Amino acid sequence: MDRFVIRGGNPLTGVIHVSGAKNSALPCMAAAILTDDAVTLENIPQVRDIETERRLLASMGAEVDLREDRTILSCRTLSDPVAKYEIVKTMRASALVLGPLIARTGMARVAMPGGCAIGGRPIDLHIKGLEKMGAEIAQEHGYLEARVERLRGAHIVFDKITVTGTEDLLMAAVLAEGETLMENCAREPEVADLAALLTAMGARIEGAGTGSIRVEGVSSLHGARYRISPDRIEAGTFLVAGAITGGDLTVANCCAAHLGAVMAKLEEAGARVDVLAPDAVRVRADGPLRAADISTEEYPGFPTDMQAQYMALATQAEGVSLVRENIFENRFMHVQELVRMGANIKVDGSTATVRGPARLSAAAVMCSDLRASASLVLAALVAEGETVVDRVYHMDRGYERIEEKLSQAGAQIQRLGNLFAPRERAHSAA
């Protein structure tokens, strides 16, 4: 199992480049199921979750050619439209094949995704919406068995805002008979990315990116070529890295328009943030960091996927910062590891109270989930001494070559394979 060894104390400077959005790439790859033409996607990040999705689609009979500059997917023959548990258990987002499989083939057999470190992660709202569209869905032996002649348009109001629920049902609706109106939808940019691809494939969609999406079903979709948006969470992570290390860092190839809440919060915490261009944001230290509260909300609010990273910053801010996690029930796994490095954090239910500034010292710490990993790396960048961050495969799920990117911005970080086990290939799933 790979580990990072990080020596803290270096301000990050220069330019750091953002890869494509993992959480756009995953639904867009699943959208290829909806047509028997080839779909070409650009700017796909080379991360483990993408490799897992490639394996999942290939296991169903799709051809997926992952290249450096583009990914070509062909789902002409889906010889085995089953999302098997041994793959689904490693990545919950596998549930995103449910809607497209039912829409394309009239059937689907998808393993129920288990929970994960941050919560139970149910998909009841996906199921409820598909049943409203006429699918018959049984749950047995840990699998969802879905059947329908042809999905029909429906009026769906989500009980809770769900990102992949919105995406799953959007992919079901584009081939349904008649019109679908979905309300209380997720407004994340990744939903708009998926809708842009589907539209390029011939779908008729209005309102993606807003709370209400209207779809006019069509009988078939054709192939398309589409470039995935930049990863706003990777970009936000690098902005925090520039601020926490007291550096002067420009985050390039990003989409500043997707970073409003994160940039505003960093300014409130005392960093200097300048939008140099639509795809470039500069962050600089501007005196000591100041405590500022956050409360995670659906987009365009402060993202839950940035909560752990912000908490690392809050440990270095003067004063008391309240961190409220409103989206997931167990997303404070990073807290105890930060405390072991010297942070002063108390958790009470869904609120963590962070008192700073705390002097952090290097320790042996362990990743538990994707964004908690990022939090530990950020803390290690300012901790005194050499921190060993173990189980970085969690981080490899959603950050492409993170140690190379941070090193070229001045961080002292290196990746070590486990001395006693074969070096894990960067893309092998868990």
Which residues participate in catalysis according to the annotation?
116
- The structure tokens 């809708």 sit at 195
Q: Which of 25, 26, 44, 174 binds ligand EPZ (CB under 6 A)?
A: 26
The maximal CA–CA distance of the chain, rounded, in angstroms, is 64
93 binds ligand EPZ (CB under 6 A): yes
**Residue 102 Cα to chain centre, angstroms:** 24
Q: Segment contacting ligand EPZ (CB under 6 A): 2-10, 122-130, 176-184, 412-420?
A: 122-130
Q: Segment contacting ligand EPZ (CB under 6 A): 99-107, 121-129, 176-184, 406-414?
A: 121-129
**CB-based contacts of 73, cutoff 8 Å, min separation 6:** 29, 32, 38, 39, 40, 41, 57, 62, 63, 64, 65
121 binds ligand EPZ (CB under 6 A): yes
Q: Site mask, ligand EPZ, residues 291-320, x = CB under 6 A?
A: -------------xx---------------
SS3 413: strand
283 binds ligand EPZ (CB under 6 A): no
Residues in the chain: 430
Cβ proximity of 363 and 341 under 8 Å: yes
CB atoms inside a 10 Å sphere around CB 120: 10
Q: Which of 196, 358, 370, 392 binds ligand EPZ (CB under 6 A)?
A: 370
160 binds ligand EPZ (CB under 6 A): yes
Q: Segment contacting ligand EPZ (CB under 6 A): 123-131, 194-202, 333-341, 357-365?
A: 123-131
Q: How far is the CB of 23 from ligand EPZ (least distance, A)?
A: 4
Contact set for ligand EPZ, span 394-423 (CB under 6 A)? 398
Q: How far is the CB of 287 from ligand EPZ (least distance, A)?
A: 31
CA–CA distance, 255 with 122 (Å, rounded to integer) = 30
Minimum CB distance to ligand EPZ smaller for 123 or for 252: 123
Minimum CB distance to ligand EPZ smaller for 349 or for 422: 349
Q: Segment contacting ligand EPZ (CB under 6 A): 61-69, 116-124, 248-256, 420-428?
A: 116-124
208 binds ligand EPZ (CB under 6 A): no
Contact set for ligand EPZ, span 163-192 (CB under 6 A)? 163-165, 186, 190
162 binds ligand EPZ (CB under 6 A): yes
Minimum CB distance to ligand EPZ smaller for 180 or for 296: 296
Contact set for ligand EPZ, span 326-345 (CB under 6 A)? 327-328
Minimum CB distance to ligand EPZ smaller for 304 or for 315: 304
Q: Which amino acid is at 396?
A: D
Q: Which residues contact ligand EPZ (rule: CB under 6 A)? A: 23, 26, 93, 119, 121-126, 160, 162-165, 186, 190, 304-305, 327-328, 370-371, 398
